[in-house]
């Protein structure tokens, strides 16, 4: 059996759909892009531009189509869908990566304890109705205790004991608690995202108390005739504190020595600081220049002193 004809026919068919280039074409099937890195042939480029462009483009597209048609496909009503690989070209994102949602307090706890999340069904089986009912919501199973016609009452119950009201109150309390926890989780998530961490509770309380104390005194009568609210405490004044009368001997001596050492020094006043800054640096200056000028010019200043000196000389010259 001679298969050379068949092989030749197959090769001819293959030839029509294969592209031979010096540098193989780079195909990025994920982005449907092909890059032809062969240098541009200047001769055929200048001979006929459009023909050259269309022929290079055809070669490139043929290679790309070849790569796309050899990808694994999945059938669909509109024809075969080629499953594309991930793109090899890296393009910049338009927006930053989404931040992971901060875990709720329960999620943190569950993670620490290794508790796994188990999904609760929304419907539960009601034996009485012989039907599936919602766990919560309209005619939810969580309202069964409130709506049942007969309820067991404990022996020591109050006369006004209303079992359905008790159940309802409990349910409402659970809802408010859950809402509070939800808001807490939201606030915590906000806190972690912003740079400024909220102040600790004790600090905030202190600040509030201080503000309250100030506002209570900030009336015309310094708060004397203000109506006091029920449960309001009398504002505390500042208590003076004294050192204990009896201290150890070493403490007393050190205390006294500290006083003595202060007495030995010049008192640090504003003026003294200023004059030391004016004087020449390094070494304590004996002459206080400003004071000397003041006394020499009889309080008129350095300018007057200079003028007087000049006048005296001029008179001498004239004579």
Q: Are 121 and 112 in contact (CB under 8 A)?
A: no
Q: Residue 139 in contact with residue 133, Cβ under 8 Å?
A: yes
**Cα 170 from Cα 146, distance rounded (Å):** 10
Residue 134 and residue 124: Cα distance in Å, rounded? 6
Choose which of 97, 220, 263, 287 interacts with another protein (CB under 8 A). 97
| Candidate list 1, 2, 4, 96; residue touching another protein; CB under 8 A | 96
Residue 85, interface with another protein (CB under 8 A)?
yes
Would you count residue 116 as binding another protein (CB under 8 A)?
A: no
Give the Cα separation of 21 and 245 in Å (integer). 103
- Give dist(CA 132, CA 125) in Å, integer: 5
Least gap, CB of 49 to another protein (angstroms): 7
Phi, psi of 118 (to 5 degrees): -120, 130
163 binds another protein (CB under 8 A): no
Compute the least distance from the CB of residue 27 to another protein, in Å: 10
Say how far apart CA 38 and CA 22 lie, in whole Å: 7
Residue 84 sits in the site that holds another protein (CB under 8 A): yes
Please state, in angstroms and rounded to a whole number, the distance separating the CA atoms of residues 208 and 202.
Answer: 10
Nearest residue (CB) to another protein, 56 versus 104: 56
65 lines the binding site for another protein (CB under 8 A) = yes
Minimal distance in Å, beta carbon 1 to another protein?
Answer: 20
Query: Binding of another protein at residue 3 (CB under 8 A)?
Result: no
For another protein, give the closer residue by CB, 11 or 272: 11
Please list, in sequence order, all residues whose beta carbon lies within 8 angstroms of the beta carbon of residue 172, skipping any fewer than 6 positions away.
none
Binding interface with another protein (CB under 8 A): 13-14, 16-17, 23, 30-42, 45, 49-50, 53-54, 56-58, 60-62, 64-66, 68-70, 73-74, 76, 78-87, 89-98
């Amino acid at each position: 059996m001679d298969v050379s004809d068949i092989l030749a026919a197959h090769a001819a068919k293959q030839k029509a759909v294969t592209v031979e280039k010096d540098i193989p074409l780079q195909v990025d099937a994920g982005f449907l892009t092909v890059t032809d890195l062969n240098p541009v042939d200047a001769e055929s480029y200048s001979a006929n531009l459009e023909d050259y462009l269309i022929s290079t483009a055809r070669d490139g597209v043929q290679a790309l189509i070849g790569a796309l048609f050899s990808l694994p496909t999945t059938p669909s009503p509109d024809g075969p869908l080629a499953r594309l690989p991930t793109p090899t070209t890296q393009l910049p994102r338009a927006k930053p990566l989404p931040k992971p949602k901060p875990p709720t307090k329960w999620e943190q706890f569950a993670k620490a304890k290794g508790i796994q999340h188990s999904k609760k069904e929304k419907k539960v089986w009601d034996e009485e109705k012989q039907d599936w009912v919602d766990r919560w919501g309209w005619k939810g199973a969580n309202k069964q205790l409130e709506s049942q016609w007969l309820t067991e009452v404990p022996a020591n119950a109050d006369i006004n004991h209303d079992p359905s009201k008790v159940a309802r109150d409990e349910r409402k309390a659970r809802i408010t608690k859950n809402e509070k926890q939800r808001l807490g989780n939201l606030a915590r998530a906000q806190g972690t995202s912003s740079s400024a961490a909220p102040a600790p509770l004790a600090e905030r309380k202190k600040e509030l108390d201080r503000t309250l104390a100030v506002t209570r005194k900030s009336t015309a009568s310094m708060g004397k005739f203000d109506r006091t609210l029920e449960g309001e405490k009398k504002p505390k004044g500042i208590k003076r504190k004294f050192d204990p009368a009896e201290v150890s001997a070493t403490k007393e001596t050190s205390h006294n020595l500290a006083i003595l050492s202060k007495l030995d020094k010049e008192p640090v006043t504003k003026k003294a600081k200023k004059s030391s800054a004016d004087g020449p640096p390094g070494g304590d200056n004996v002459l206080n220049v400003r004071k000397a000028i003041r006394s020499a010019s009889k309080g008129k200043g350095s300018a007057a002193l200079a003028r007087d000196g000049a006048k005296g000389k001029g008179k001498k010259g004239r004579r």
